[in-house]
């Protein structure tokens, strides 16, 4: 934990959990919608997904949730490349993003154990895109 004041940390953690829950719900819906659109990419949805995962990444980094931060960063980088038109859209891309969202949800739901969660495979696959 990077914050010495336990009460303040718990307040920040509560805020993070609330915000992350909303962002993960939006991210789940947006990625599912993007998956159904095929090659017609809705940049508004990609941008919104990128902002959602960026918020999760930032909050996690601020309160020392390293694994959540690392996985969210890898997802943000993929979404950024899609947004910029540098990454071709394929079903496997969105499947990996959906897997990433699932891992993020599991870590948020089990926040006290999140830094022990094994994200290596998903992280490496996302970075390889």
For residue 35, what is the domain's CATH number? 1.20.120.160
pLDDT at 36: 86
Query: Phi and psi dihedrals of 42, rounded to 5?
Result: -90, 105
pLDDT at 40: 78
Give percent of the chain with pLDDT exceeding 90: 64
Residues in the chain, pLDDT under 70: 1-3
Q: Pick from 57, 56, 117, 128: which is nearest to 92 by CA?
A: 128
Q: Is position 30 within any domain? A: yes
Cβ(47)–Cβ(76) under 8 Å?
no
pLDDT at 24: 98
Summarised one tens digit per residue, pLDDT across range 8-18 is: 989 999 999 99
Count of the separate structural domains present in the chain: 1
Q: Is position 34 within any domain? A: yes
Q: Is position 1 within any domain? A: no
| Enclosing domain of residue 39 | 6-128
pTM: 0.90
């Amino acid at each position: 934990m990077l914050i010495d004041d336990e009460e303040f940390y718990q307040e920040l953690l509560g805020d993070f959990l609330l915000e992350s829950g909303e962002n993960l719900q939006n991210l789940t819906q947006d990625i599912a919608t993007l998956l159904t659109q095929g090659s017609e990419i809705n940049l508004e949805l990609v941008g919104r997904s990128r902002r959602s995962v960026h918020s999760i990444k930032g909050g996690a980094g601020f309160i020392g949730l390293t694994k959540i931060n690392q996985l969210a960063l890898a997802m943000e980088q993929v979404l950024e490349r899609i947004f910029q038109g540098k990454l071709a859209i394929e079903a496997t891309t969105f499947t990996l993003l959906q897997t990433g969202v699932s891992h993020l949800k599991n870590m948020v739901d089990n926040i006290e154990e999140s830094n022990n969660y094994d994200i290596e495979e998903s992280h490496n696959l996302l970075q390889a895109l």
